[in-house]
Amino acid sequence: MVTTPGPRSRGIQRAADLPLEDQVALLSGADVWRTKARGGVAPVLLSDGPHGLRVQMGPAGRVGLQQSYPATCFPPAVTLASTWDRGLVREVGAALGLEARTFDVGVLLGPAMNIKRHPRCGRNFEYFSEDPLLTGHLAAAMVDGIQSQHVGACIKHFAVNNQETDRFVVDAIVDERTLREIYLSGFEYAIARSAPWTVMAAYNSVNGAPCTANDWLLDTVLRREWGFDGVVMSDWGATVNRVDGVAAGMDLEMPSSAGMYDAELTDAVDSGSLDVQAVTRSAQRIIDLVRRIEDRPAAPVHFPIAAHDALTRRAAAAGTVLLRNDGILPLAPGQRIAVIGGFAESPRYQGAGSSLVVPTHVTTALDAFVAAGADITYAPGYDPRSPDEDPALVDTASTIAASCDVAVVVIGLPESFESETFDRDDMALPPQHDVLVRAVVATRTPTVVVLCNGSPVLLPWRDEPAAIVECYLGGQASGGALVDVLLGHAEPGGRLAETFPSDPHDVAADRYFPGHDYQVEYREGLFVGYRDAVTRGWSPAFPFGHGLSYTQFEWGAPRVDRRVVGVGEGVTLHIPVRNTGDRPGSDVVQVYASDRTGVVLRPTRELAGFAKVHVAPGQETVAEIVVEPRSLQFFDVVSGRWRTPTGCVVLQVARSSADIVAEVTIDVAGDTDSSSEPPGTPPVSLADADFARRLGHDVPVPRPARPFTRNTTLGDLRQTRLGRSVFALLLRAVPMDEQTRLDPRHARMVERGLEQMPLRAVAAFSGGRIRLSLIDGLIRTLNAARRNPLRRG
């Protein structure tokens, strides 16, 4: 399918030549997916993203998840990240870019690159990692691939968008060092290395200011410090204060709010409260984006469907993590295999929400087993769409398992468990899935458990099966990739890009996640994921970086190009990797920096570099890993800059964050030997006074739920009697196609999504049917009706 190329611009190059009204008009969308054609400037088509195209069929004025043109559903970021393979991620990016161009898409809304602060974030499947270095490197590779096809990438969601609870309105309170070192550094790296054409400003606020109008984030950091000169667009419906937004450099409001803020902008310019130059600069950036897109080569008519499907299959296998294997895998030929689990027939291969792709084709595990000529017997064991227990299904599955040589039990999280718009309630699998594993293991038939999920789950039985394979969400060819791995046609190339805790309460952020009263406090600071596990010494079920291979690798002694390092200098390590097994395979060499300078509080070790190597049996290759100067630095909030502590740093060459193979010590001649945060053990729970010290001011008092404001969510509105009656009315005004609204698979996502929406966004999404003045009137009425107490959960 090809969309008709849009109209071309009429040679306008200078925003300053346009009348103010046209400049202002360019700063918001024409509909859900397009920028405006105005003043001779052509429109641009934007599309989700991040791991497949979602170009909507029919009118672009409605939000629809079902009716998009078929496109390749590549593995979501969680799986791509597990490949630790920059080259492969770039290849996927280039394929995405090619598909985008076929659809005449100017900007692909991805990659999504928020840090996985807590495993319960409902959208973790769309994000790469809990580690900023891995996130930054892979996001840069993805951007590079997309943009190699003359399609703009949009790194999102800038910034600190680490949860779905209250996502439109939550204020993330984070100290600056934690921001710089954990939550911003991936974005900084991707911007420096891959120059994305656009950045998406997130829904939430950071330290009191909405990301779409956050002068510090957008102007001080993004534009002035990092030199970003592309377009900043709002996440869909994230615009809060448009005048402040334009002043801060938030160029494009998406989607269209039917010109809701245009008058505010022109009035602000007229009254002198907004510098007209800010409007012109934003309009110019939109024009520059349009020109970039117009200058690209003509779009291909088709994309290579089969080749992209094959790439998906290869990438999914490369991101599959072999968590445990007693030698049963790969399966020996000729075995009778019991294939158990509804996901083998109705696979869970992508996440729910705005990233939902209508695939070109889906390969199930059953299809792939049959195509491979395997001797299989199938039993569902559970209903893939429902978490409810059905003992009869378990009994049948056990009987079948007992009659076979090996059982492959495919389990995971149903769609209703994890999605954009809500966070998971806990980390457990549906009870029936746990029951099923235990029942099959009890038959004494050797059992391989296969996991399909977008984020870590609890595996209380993890020592019992013969093998555990984490497939994550493998995209449309996930079933093929799984069978390739099980039968040994492909190497399970993945290593965990996140920690699998055995107890969610071990996670340092758990005490503060997801906050309350529209406020979330990042009191755990730098201690996210493995950084906390290695520092406070708790043992995860499976550590960050872990993953087994089908072959064996021996690593030689690391060579380092220098042992004495000055300010601004990095180190390069060379590690010989020999494949001593009899199969081709891949390995991931990880280098962690362990700061022993005694200058500053730091996690015990932090990822400083990595390399993925592919080695033929009996062959040796040398992994080259560059540790960049930044990995030796910390952000000093007193001087407001990156400093290099003087002293000794141990570079740890490792198979995972918990498995150090070799160490190299370097001497750093830095620029400081003291800091305001001396080393120590991070407290289990950070007291108010200590958090305030880190913030440099008192911990903000959460905003009371009353009086109602434009920021009040529909969920909160629903808590009052009058609010309930207007809720239904407002819902009808939000344009969404009926198929999406009524599909039971999306019911929870849609309902939670709407409940999260603040009143201002309802007005913005209504396409002009609900004006802000109406919302303001409603708020006045609701606030006057004080007799209905608001009950917030």
Separation of alpha carbons 519 and 170, rounded Å: 5
For residues 363 and 372, the answer to whether their CB atoms sit within 8 Å is no
Nearer to ligand BGC, 354 or 363 (CB): 354
Q: 541: Cβ–Cβ under 8 A, 6 or more apart, which residues?
A: 458, 459, 462, 500, 501, 502
Nearer to ligand BGC, 72 or 597 (CB): 72
For residues 232 and 219, the answer to whether their CB atoms sit within 8 Å is no
User: Least distance to ligand BGC from the beta carbon of 63, Å?
Assistant: 7
User: In 3-state terms, what secondary structure has residue 131?
Assistant: coil
CA of residue 512 relative to chain centroid, distance: 20
Q: Enumerate residues 679-708 that contact ligand BGC by CB under 6 A.
A: none
Separation of alpha carbons 13 and 246, rounded Å: 20
User: Least distance to ligand BGC from the beta carbon of 430, Å?
Assistant: 26
Sheet strand arrangement including 467-470: 321-325, 467-470, 447-452, 406-412, 336-340, 375-379
User: Least distance to ligand BGC from the beta carbon of 766, Å?
Assistant: 16
User: Least distance to ligand BGC from the beta carbon of 251, Å?
Assistant: 16
Nearer to ligand BGC, 254 or 625 (CB): 254
User: In 3-state terms, what secondary structure has residue 754?
Assistant: helix
Among 197, 236, 500, 542, binds ligand BGC (CB under 6 A): 236
Q: Which of 381, 113, 354 is nearest to 255 (CA)?
A: 354
Separation of alpha carbons 404 and 369, rounded Å: 15
Rounded CA Rg of the chain: 26
Nearer to ligand BGC, 49 or 196 (CB): 49
Nearer to ligand BGC, 27 or 376 (CB): 27
Nearer to ligand BGC, 214 or 354 (CB): 354
Separation of alpha carbons 313 and 117, rounded Å: 29
DSSP summary character for residue 509: G
Which of 235, 244, 251, 309 does the annotation list as catalytic? 235
Among 156, 433, 523, 605, binds ligand BGC (CB under 6 A): 156
Q: Is 152 in the site for ligand BGC (CB under 6 A)?
A: no
The answer to whether 251 is a known catalytic residue is no
Q: Is 670 in the site for ligand BGC (CB under 6 A)?
A: no
Helix (H) or strand (E) segment spanning residue 788:
none
For residues 165 and 423, the answer to whether their CB atoms sit within 8 Å is yes
Token readout for 651 is 């570079």
Nearer to ligand BGC, 96 or 577 (CB): 96
Q: Which of 752, 760, 39 is nearest to 419 (CA)?
A: 752
Maximum separation of any 2 CA atoms in the chain, in Å: 81
Q: Is 234 in the site for ligand BGC (CB under 6 A)?
A: no
User: In 3-state terms, what secondary structure has residue 775?
Assistant: helix
For residues 155 and 219, the answer to whether their CB atoms sit within 8 Å is no
Helices (H), ranges, 556-666: none
DSSP summary character for residue 607: E
Helix (H) or strand (E) segment spanning residue 101:
helix 86-102
Q: Which of 583, 757, 565 is nearest to 664 (CA)?
A: 565
User: Least distance to ligand BGC from the beta carbon of 131, Å?
Assistant: 21
Q: What is the 3-state secondary structure (H, E, C) of 385-423?
A: CCCCCCHHHHHHHHHHHHCCCEEEEEEECCHHHCECCEC
Q: Is 454 in the site for ligand BGC (CB under 6 A)?
A: no
Q: Is 235 in the site for ligand BGC (CB under 6 A)?
A: yes
Among 135, 194, 214, 354, binds ligand BGC (CB under 6 A): 354
User: Least distance to ligand BGC from the beta carbon of 764, Å?
Assistant: 12
User: Least distance to ligand BGC from the beta carbon of 761, Å?
Assistant: 10
User: Least distance to ligand BGC from the beta carbon of 109, Å?
Assistant: 4
DSSP summary character for residue 316: H
Q: Is 325 in the site for ligand BGC (CB under 6 A)?
A: no
For residues 149 and 100, the answer to whether their CB atoms sit within 8 Å is yes
Separation of alpha carbons 400 and 341, rounded Å: 12
For residues 304 and 94, the answer to whether their CB atoms sit within 8 Å is no
Q: Is 253 in the site for ligand BGC (CB under 6 A)?
A: no
User: In 3-state terms, what secondary structure has residue 129?
Assistant: coil
Nearer to ligand BGC, 64 or 145 (CB): 64
Nearer to ligand BGC, 282 or 354 (CB): 354
Q: Is 607 in the site for ligand BGC (CB under 6 A)?
A: no
Nearer to ligand BGC, 236 or 635 (CB): 236
Nearer to ligand BGC, 198 or 656 (CB): 198
* Total residues at interface with ligand BGC (CB under 6 A): 7
Q: Is 180 in the site for ligand BGC (CB under 6 A)?
A: no
Up-side HSE of residue 377: CA atoms within 13 Å toward CB?
A: 15
Q: Whose CB is nearest to ligand BGC?
A: 354
Q: Enumerate residues 44-83 that contact ligand BGC by CB under 6 A.
A: 48-49
- φ and ψ at 555, to 5 degrees? -100, 135
Q: Is 737 in the site for ligand BGC (CB under 6 A)?
A: no
Burial class (CB in 10 A: 0-12, 13-18, 19+), 268: buried
Nearer to ligand BGC, 155 or 452 (CB): 155
For residues 39 and 13, the answer to whether their CB atoms sit within 8 Å is no
User: Least distance to ligand BGC from the beta carbon of 747, Å?
Assistant: 17
State the CB neighbour count (10 A cutoff) for residue 90.
20
User: Least distance to ligand BGC from the beta carbon of 234, Å?
Assistant: 10
Separation of alpha carbons 452 and 647, rounded Å: 45
User: Least distance to ligand BGC from the beta carbon of 235, Å?
Assistant: 5
Q: Which of 654, 722, 607, 763 is nearest to 256 (CA)?
A: 763
User: Least distance to ligand BGC from the beta carbon of 156, Å?
Assistant: 5
Give the x-and-dash track for 97-116 against ligand BGC (CB under 6 A).
Answer: ------------x-------
Interface with ligand BGC (CB under 6 A): 48-49, 109, 156, 235-236, 354
Report, as residue numbers or ranges, the catalytic residues: 235
